[in-house]
Amino acid sequence: MTTDGLSEQDLAVLAVERDGWPGPGAKERAIRERLGITPTRYYQLLNALLDDPRALEHDPVTINRLRRLRDERRERR
């Protein structure tokens, strides 16, 4: 556990999400190599972080960007 209450894995997920990716294949490869988890598990963890106030406090730019994207997708459905 870190001082802001997020686990090392949580911080690693946010770090991967902050990086720019040329395409989905590169990101999925990085998820497997850096984090040692499947992309499906990665997105499960990421979605949980979007609603975690500690994640918002730690990385407001990334969390707010992802929340906007999620809300836009929901509105289109």
In this prediction, residue 2 has a pLDDT band, given cuts at 50, 70 and 90, of low
Gap between the Cα atoms of 77 and 75, Å rounded: 5
pLDDT at 1 over 50: no
Compute the average pLDDT of residues 43-67: 96
User: Which residues have CB under 8 Å from 31's CB, separation 6+?
Assistant: 16, 37, 38, 39, 42
pLDDT, tens digit, 9 for 90 and up, residues 5-29: 999 999 999 999 998 888 779 999 9
Structure tokens at 51: 């609603």
